């Protein structure tokens, strides 16, 4: 099978930028609780872009990888190709549990026990034809303190497929059945399912603060910032302000930023957008927010860009008692006056990693099937769908700021 591969970084050695296509064996050594998925579509994530460019913050994490080279990618949609015996039994339980909402599944089960369904030789064919799937690609241990108290998203032993183990930028990927998410055929478009992993980051971020009646600042108008805007708009906010930065070095002029990213942010619910590369725009942002909030500042700021400059903007414009939620991953370090910026302002700072397992997935399913999927499909948010071997073109498109979400087709 075709697979998109990155070598594991080694200590005291260069880690060259780029990826390569390799021919790999289709995984055949399924554990009893594993499922082999035929990948139909896979979304490019900011982490994948960082791996492509050999970003330092990703380098440190990928040193933990087990193999010497890793199939990257962790956003995907596909269908079940094969499953181990324990996985089939678990899938039979899922189909039986949810069969009442699905006439075809109810007919297939026909009152049989999960054991009888799993033993049916046509069960795998039914799963393949009737469901699309994705998976939570953070594999948690289940026994550390965080897992035992329901905080599996911060399991201290987390293994990320596509970073530490082989991921989804390939024709096939294997995942534990406990991490598999099933969608009835037609429930959601495949192209939407293919980036739900990334959408889950935005959902988790937005749900970490109470937005009802709040003035909200979203720092960074990339893919995560745009998704956060769409979700925040559905969460009872008073006003949403969005920022980004035009850049001559990246070929993103102010006019292009306003016409593309900011136009989509407004479509998703932003009330005002500011290009902070321009001093007059920075002044306008401050004046607008202070005027709209009677001089108090915003109640919640979401940092989605990984820029320390954006951190500074958040501290300056958050009201006393406000909340700062951090998703973007910055490089290097930042000096911070904790007394002035945090303690005396009574701020709450919340760091976000991944998705809550599996609450975030069910929240996403509800949001998407209630209209959010059509918002994404009809807006041009999915910029391009390209063959897997055109990954260099896809990365260049993203690097030039000409793409929002790009989907690869193995």
Any residues with CB less than 8 A from the CB of 29 and at least 6 apart, and which? none
DSSP conformational letter for 45: P
Mean pLDDT of 313-327: 97
pLDDT digits (tens, 9 = 90+) for 151-178: 999 999 999 999 999 999 999 999 999 9
Q: Could you say which DSSP state residue 198 is in?
A: H
Which residues pair with residue 172 across a beta bridge? 38
Q: What is the dihedral of CA 285, 291, 297, 303, to 10 degrees?
A: -20
Q: Where are the domains of the chain?
A: 2-200+356-409, 209-351
Kindly tell me if the per-residue pLDDT of 100 is higher than 80: no
pLDDT digits (tens, 9 = 90+) for 177-234: 999 999 998 899 999 999 999 999 999 999 999 999 999 999 999 999 999 999 999 9
d(CA 54, CA 17): 5
The residue among 274, 266, 273, 302 whose CA lies nearest residue 379 is: 266
CB 170 within 8 A of CB 4: yes
The confidence score (pLDDT) of residue 252 equals 74
Strand-pair category, 180-184 with 382-387: unpaired
Q: pLDDT digits over 391-407, tens only?
A: 999 999 998 888 899 99
Cis status, amide bond into 358, omega within 30 of 0: yes
Q: Give the per-residue pLDDT at 312.
A: 95
User: Which of 1-15, 220-234, 289-303 shows the lowest mean pLDDT across its residues?
Assistant: 1-15
State both tokens at 306: 């990984």
- Confidence band (pLDDT; 50, 70, 90) for 134? very high
Inter-residue contact 6 to 51 (CB < 8 Å)? yes
Fold of 209-351: Rossmann fold (3.40.50)
- pLDDT-based confidence at residue 250 (cuts at 50, 70, 90): low
On the question of pLDDT at 122 being above 60, the answer is: yes
| Architecture of domain 2-200+356-409 in this structure | Alpha-Beta Complex (3.90)
Query: What pLDDT is attached to residue 244?
Result: 95
- What pLDDT shows up at residue 257? 86
pLDDT at residue 238 is higher than 80 = yes
Same fold, 2-200+356-409 and 209-351: no
- Report the pLDDT value the prediction gives residue 61, as an integer from 0 to 100: 86
- Cβ(87)–Cβ(32) under 8 Å? yes
pLDDT the model gives residue 333 = 85
Instruction: Provide the 3-class DSSP secondary structure of residue 349.
Output: strand
CA distance 311 to 336: 10
Distances (CA, A) of 359 to 12, 133, 152, 354, 362: 41, 17, 11, 12, 5
pLDDT of 249 strictly over 60: no
Cβ-defined contacts of 337-346 (< 8 Å, 24+):
341/315, 342/315, 345/315, 345/318, 345/320, 345/321, 346/320, 346/321
Asked if residue 296 lies in contact with residue 346, where contact means CB atoms within 8 angstroms, the answer is no
């Amino acid at each position: 099978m075709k697979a998109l591969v990155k070598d594991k970084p080694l200590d005291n050695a260069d880690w060259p930028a780029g990826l390569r296509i390799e021919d790999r064996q289709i995984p055949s050594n399924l554990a009893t609780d594993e499922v082999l998925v035929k990948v139909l579509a896979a979304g490019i994530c900011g982490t994948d872009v960082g791996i492509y460019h050999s970003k330092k913050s990703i380098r440190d994490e990928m040193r933990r990888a087990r193999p010497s080279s890793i199939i990257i990618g962790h956003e995907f949609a596909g269908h079940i190709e094969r499953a181990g015996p324990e996985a089939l039994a678990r899938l039979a339980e899922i189909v039986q549990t949810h069969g009442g909402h699905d006439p075809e599944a109810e007919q297939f089960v026909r009152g049989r026990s999960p054991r009888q369904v799993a033993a049916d030789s046509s069960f795998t064919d039914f799963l393949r034809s009737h469901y699309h799937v994705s998976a939570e690609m953070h594999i948690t241990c289940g026994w550390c303190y965080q897992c035992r108290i329901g905080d599996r998203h911060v399991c201290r032993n987390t293994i990320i497929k596509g970073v530490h183990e082989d991921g989804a930028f390939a024709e096939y990927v294997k995942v534990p059945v406990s991490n598999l998410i099933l969608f009835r055929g037609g429930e959601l478009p495949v192209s939407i399912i293919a980036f739900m992993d990334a959408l889950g980051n935005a959902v988790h971020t937005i749900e970490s603060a109470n937005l009802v009646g709040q003035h909200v600042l979203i720092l960074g108008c990339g893919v995560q910032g745009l998704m956060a805007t769409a979700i925040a708009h559905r969460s009872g906010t008073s006003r949403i302000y969005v920022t980004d930065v035009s850049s001559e070095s990246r070929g993103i002029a102010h006019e292009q930023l306003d016409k593309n990213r900011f136009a989509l942010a407004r479509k998703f619910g932003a009330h005002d957008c500011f290009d902070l590369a321009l001093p007059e725009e920075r002044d306008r942002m401050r004046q607008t927010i202070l005027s709209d909030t009677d001089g108090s500042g915003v109640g919640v700021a979401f940092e989605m860009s990984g820029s320390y400059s954006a951190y500074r903007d958040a501290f300056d414009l958050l009201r006393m008692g406000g909340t700062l939620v951090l998703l973007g991953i910055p490089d290097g370090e930042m000096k911070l006056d904790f007394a002035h910026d945090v303690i005396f302002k009574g701020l709450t700072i919340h760091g976000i990693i991944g998705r809550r397992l599996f609450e975030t997935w069910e929240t996403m399913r509800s949001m998407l099937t209630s209209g959010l999927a059509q918002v994404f499909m009809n807006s041009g948010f999915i910029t391009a769908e390209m063959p897997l071997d055109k990954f260099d073109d896809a990365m260049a498109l993203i690097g030039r700021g000409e793409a929002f979400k790009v989907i690869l087709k193995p």
